[in-house]
């Protein structure tokens, strides 16, 4: 139960605080990519070691999201959010002052743990703060803008900070945001008591799920190096799967399970998370390889790449913040998700046609504009559907699950697309094709795979999800065919 609930106006201020914390963490996931060359040169990273600046964060972040979300239900969402914000901010300081590659990698791991704690409960707090459907749709639209547009803004901000100052500032910029967000959260974000650890103190289950997800993410990110059919990938993947099966068995038999399996009885919760895995896999891989296309083929600078993706952030802002609540209310979340996925699919198909001598207005803008519209329509609808079957006591768990599937989907899509694109490019170069032509063809193949993944998400949305309607008292969601 919420104690001392804030006034209506205060809830919107609390939402801004939550979104500020979320934006800081989302920005960090892309802002670092732009600065990797400068970090490599300054700290004398080897080629293999540099990847761990990203991988250390991803493994900690992805591995702890589900556990962190459940901890929010047990000990209080606000408490977990503040702990995560504090850990992330302190770790950002350590990242910024790192004087060796080892120190930076360790600090990035800690930063990922803090990010998991803070973001895992954010969507759950948004849903519980705004129980009325119309308000909830508006709040989720704002939250979705931050979650979806943050990546594009991170590319631009990373380019500006790296070009004008130094790579250290991509981490130092988190300090004032984290401190102000924490102080404001203490005052504005409503507290919740939580169920108590005795309701889910399944230590063995916690160890199994953290080990399974961390090892799974590690296997995926290393598959690009070893190959998906290698002994290392298949062996580690089998161990991760065995740990996951062990976790499921444990949850069925534990007196106080960490993850009550009844949450998966909701067709929308299960279906929405499956949609998200496939959708994010296609989207994340396309953004990463689209960035490489602009950098390696078109010779864009980091700042130019950030500016190239700004229409995505603009379109997401217009549709998710301004229009999504009204559209979802009138036409339904499931229908708007389908429309959004169609826009995304259209943008990805345009991306498959970008030429070696491409230019922005005729080639790239027609691709990124539909992507922005699609993301602006899809994310608010998808978040609502993913949370529609979750009770108040399981809001943190459902929120953590949504974030976990997003991370797993992103890591999987990036590994598959990067591996496929690199292998095809190498084969073309070996057969005598010019470097730029081979790179472009490799990117084309990856973009087609991205489109295929979004098409799978579209099929799941059409055949698995049900529309959420609202009962007459406008407080209880009802699932309908």
Whether the CB-CB separation of 18 and 122 falls below 8 Å is answered with yes
User: Is the distance from CB of 29 to CB of 170 less than 8 angstroms?
Assistant: no
Asked whether 25 and 215 are in contact (CB, 8 A), the reply is: no
Residue 468, strand partner residues = 479
CB 123 within 8 A of CB 402: yes
Cβ-based neighbours of 369, under 8 Å, separated by 6 or more: 311, 312, 315, 347
| Mean confidence (pLDDT) of the chain | 84
Quick one: pLDDT at residue 481? 33
Q: How confident is the model at residue 261 (pLDDT cuts 50, 70, 90)?
A: confident
CA–CA gap between residue 349 and residue 455 (Å, rounded) = 11
Q: Quick one: average pLDDT of 68-76?
A: 85
pTM higher than 0.85: no
Mean pLDDT (whole number) for 416-433? 89
Q: Which residue has the tokens 């949450």?
A: 263
Indicate if the pLDDT at residue 356 is higher than 90.
Answer: yes
Structure tokens at 454: 């979004």
Kind of pairing between the strands at 467-470 and 477-480: antiparallel
Task: Provide the pLDDT for residue 48.
Answer: 58
pLDDT at 198: 66
- Cα torsion through 74, 77, 79, 84, rounded to 10: 110
* % helix, strand, coil for the chain, step of 5: 80, 0, 15
Provide the pLDDT confidence category of residue 479 given band limits of 50, 70 and 90. Answer: very low
pLDDT of residue 3: 44
Closest CA to 14 of 191, 166, 266: 191
pLDDT digits (tens, 9 = 90+) for 9-18: 689 999 999 9
pLDDT band at 199 (very low <50, low <70, confident <90, very high): low
User: Predicted confidence band at 391 (pLDDT cuts at 50, 70, 90)?
Assistant: low
What pLDDT was estimated at residue 475? 43
- CA atoms of 57 and 52, how far apart (whole Å): 8
Name the percent of the chain lying above pLDDT 70.
90
Condensed to tens digits (0 to 9), the pLDDT of residues 362-388 reads 999 999 999 999 999 998 999 888 887
Q: Taking 80 as the threshold, does the pLDDT of residue 258 lie above it?
A: no
Could you give the 3-state DSSP secondary structure of residue 479?
strand
- In this predicted structure, the answer to whether residue 468 has a pLDDT above a threshold of 70 is no
Q: Give residue-wise pLDDT tens across range 309-348.
A: 888 888 888 888 878 888 988 899 999 999 999 999 999 9
Does residue 338 contact residue 461 with C-beta atoms inside 8 Å?
yes
């Amino acid at each position: 139960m919420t104690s001392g609930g804030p006034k209506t106006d205060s809830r919107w201020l609390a939402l801004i605080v939550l979104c500020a914390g979320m934006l800081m963490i989302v920005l960090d996931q892309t802002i670092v990519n732009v600065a990797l060359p400068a970090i490599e040169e300054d700290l004398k990273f080897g080629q293999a070691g540099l990847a761990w600046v990203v991988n250390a964060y991803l493994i900690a972040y992805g591995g702890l999201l589900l556990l962190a979300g459940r901890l929010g239900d047990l000990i209080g969402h606000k408490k977990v959010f503040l702990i995560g914000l504090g850990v992330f901010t302190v770790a950002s300081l350590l990242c910024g002052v790192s004087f060796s590659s080892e120190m930076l990698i360790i600090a990035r791991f800690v930063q990922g743990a803090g990010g998991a704690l803070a973001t895992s409960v954010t969507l759950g707090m948004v849903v519980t703060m705004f129980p009325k459907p119309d308000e909830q749709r508006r709040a989720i639209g704002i939250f979705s803008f931050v979650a979806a547009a943050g990546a594009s803004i991170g590319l631009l901000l990373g380019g500006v900070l790296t070009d004008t100052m130094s790579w250290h500032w991509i981490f130092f910029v988190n300090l004032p945001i984290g401190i102000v967000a924490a102080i404001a959260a203490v005052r504005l974000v409503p507290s919740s008591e939580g169920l108590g650890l005795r309701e889910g103190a399944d230590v063995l289950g916690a160890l199994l799920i953290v080990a399974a997800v961390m090892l799974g993410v590690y296997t995926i990110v290393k598959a690009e190096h070893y190959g998906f059919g290698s002994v290392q990938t298949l062996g580690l993947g089998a161990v991760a799967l065995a740990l996951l099966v062990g976790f499921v068995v444990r949850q069925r038999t534990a007196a106080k399970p960490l993850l009550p399996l009844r949450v998966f009885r909701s067709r929308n919760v299960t279906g929405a998370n499956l949609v998200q895995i496939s959708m994010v896999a296609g989207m994340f891989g396309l953004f990463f390889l689209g960035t490489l296309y602009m950098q390696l083929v078109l010779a864009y600078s980091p700042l130019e790449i950030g500016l190239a993706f700004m229409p995505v952030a603009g379109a997401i802002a217009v549709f998710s913040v301004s229009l999504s609540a009204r559209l979802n209310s009138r036409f339904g979340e499931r229908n708007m998700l389908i429309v959004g996925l169609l826009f995304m699919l259209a943008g990805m198909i345009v991306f498959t046609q970008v030429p070696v001598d491409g230019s922005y207005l005729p080639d790239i803008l027609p691709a990124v504009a539909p992507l922005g519209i699609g993301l602006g329509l899809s994310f608010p609808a998808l978040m609502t559907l993913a949370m529609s079957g979750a009770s108040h006591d399981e809001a943190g768990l459902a929120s953590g699950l949504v974030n976990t599937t997003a991370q797993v989907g992103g890591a999987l899509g990036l590994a598959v697309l990067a591996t496929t694109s690199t292998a095809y490019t190498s084969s073309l170069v070996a057969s005598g094709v010019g470097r730029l032509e081979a790179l472009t063809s490799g990117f084309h193949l990856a973009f087609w795979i991205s489109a295929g993944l979004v098409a799978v998400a579209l099929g799941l949305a059409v055949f698995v999800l049900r529309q959420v309607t609202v009962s007459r008292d406008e407080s209880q969601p009802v699932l309908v065919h």
